[in-house]
Structure 1
């Protein structure tokens, strides 16, 4: 059996970073996590860092240096880190997308990285028809689509946080993939030649549902009919313009997906540039929408 690649994950405390770390070490990959030195003394982060250490994850410190402009990647530290691994996965947050060009520069100088997966856990930036402010965000992401970059796409819409379907009114959400499942599919690609220079589409068949199907499913589980509020496109566009960050980003993406119809399920996958995760990895047991809603009924679980 070929030796497994050494994986460096950057952005381990961001949106999906910790799940990538966990999926990597569970799959028995030599796993390295980039950690700011200040995280070890941060009460909110120290527990996570200790959990990484106890799991056998190698921590790499001093990725950042402080300047008058804030925290930026330190090039020499990045290059040193790159030389210890084979694969780099970025999980930086939305406000750090452009920082990934610094990661790419370090990868080029190190010269030994065989695969880079940027923080592209979202919609297909080459197909999306999106309004501002998300449009500017996606233009940056599109520039990261260099030939050797493997982009992983998933669909998870709706506000983050501790909201769950409950009560007699509902904010309509679409939950297509849990973060743990996104991470599992991501790590599957690391040493798979079929995904090199490809876009991996995460569209599990059981989780391709319309709003109406999800609402009907939830109503059956709770045994009652929910009051539904509808909004016209012009009012949605006005709400996007008036909403603060990050709600304006969330709403503009929702406009693209559910008004303009920019969804992977609406497009055929071009085999020359893309692949479907469900076809490549049928052994992955993902959480279905039905199963997830069962958890919400039982315990009002936090929506991921």
Structure 2
């Protein structure tokens, strides 16, 4: 049996981060989560932290602004995964400095998971009356569950084939246009939704006039659902790998099966 890696996750109590932590612990890796001491008493985070403890996750206290705490935490592990939100992306230079000083890290995954979408609206189910569609709805996007992101990330971080590569999530069954997504949902609920289309020029105006983080969320929507930046290029195998091709034996959650949970 291959030796397990000791994995440290930063941003582990954030939206994507918690799935990375859970996947690491589930895979049997000694898992560490770096958190601020104030987070333990946070009303919305305390239950999550307790679930980490139940799963065998070791909590380490530290902060990006505290270099010594970073180095101390990093010296206890083999792998560092950053899932920091958009507001802290540039602060990762402090993390890199600590990794260099510690000198023992085999793998580092910087945060490329986008913004921490805890900031977004708390939508718990697809709409049943009307839907807002950015652009014309005919641009293909990619849809991946958070659990699958966690599972594939942990597989990849200990896989020599992914060393110094960009990891792409492109499950074939989940590359669909937004109109196709809406149609699939309408078929499941046996109803037709009112469709409100926001043309690109109107969307760009909204981006300019909206405050943060709404403007950033809209900009991401423009990038992915109007410009098609997730699908308008081929993956260059010299620097990128796609997870479902690396792990064809693993079943990911399809859009179709995901929507079944809400019917």
What TM-score do the two structures reach when normalised by structure 1?
0.79
1:26 paired residue number: 26
**Counterpart for residue 16 of structure 1:** 16
The separation in 2 between residues aligned to 1:41 and 1:118, in whole angstroms, is: 27
Aligned length: 254
Q: Which deviates further from its counterpart, 249-258 or 19-28? A: 249-258
- What pairs up with 1:96-135 in 2 under 5 angstroms? 96-122=88-114
Aligned-residue RMSD, C-alpha: 1.8
Contact 2:142 2:175 (C-alpha < 8 Å) held by counterparts: no
2:220 equivalent among 253, 278, 281: 253
CA distance in 2 between partners of 1:60 and 1:269 (Å): 37
Q: CA shift at 1:175, angstroms?
A: 6.9
1:27 Cα deviation (Å)? 0.3
For residues 60 and 163 of structure 1, the distance between their equivalents in structure 2, rounded to whole angstroms, comes to: 32
Structure 1 unpaired stretches of 5+: 65-71, 123-136, 138-155, 298-304
Q: Any unmatched runs of 5+ in structure 2? A: 135-140
- Would the aligned equivalents of 1:88 and 1:115 in 2 still touch at CA under 8 Å? yes
- For 1:88, the equivalent position in structure 2 comes to 80
Name the CA distance, whole Å, in 2 between partners of 1:213 and 1:223: 15
**What's the counterpart of residue 138 of structure 2?**
none
SS of aligned partner of 2:13: coil
**1:90-110 residue CA offsets vs partner (Å, 9 max, x unmatched):** 111111111111000000001
Aligned counterpart, 2:177 = 210
In 1, Cα distance between equivalents of 2:8 and 2:246: 23
Structure 2 residue aligned with 1:153: none
Shift of 1:163: 4.7
Q: CA deviation at 1:73?
A: 2.2
* Post-superposition CA distance 1:173-208 (Å, at most 9, x none): 867111111011100012111000001110100100
TM-score, normalised to structure 2, is 0.91
Question: d(CA) in 2 for partners of 1:55 and 1:291?
Answer: 27
Give the conservation status (yes or no) of the 8 Å contact 1:6–1:85.
yes
Mapping 1:1-304, distance limit 5 Å = 1-61=1-61, 63-64=62-63, 72-122=64-114, 160-172=121-133, 176-263=143-230, 265-297=231-263
Cα deviation, residue 238, structure 1:
0.6
Shift of 1:172: 4.0
- Which SS does the other structure have where 2:197 is aligned? coil
Structure 1 stretches of 4+ moved >6 Å: none
**Native 8 Å contact 1:6 1:31 kept in 2:** yes
Q: Which has the higher strand share?
A: 2
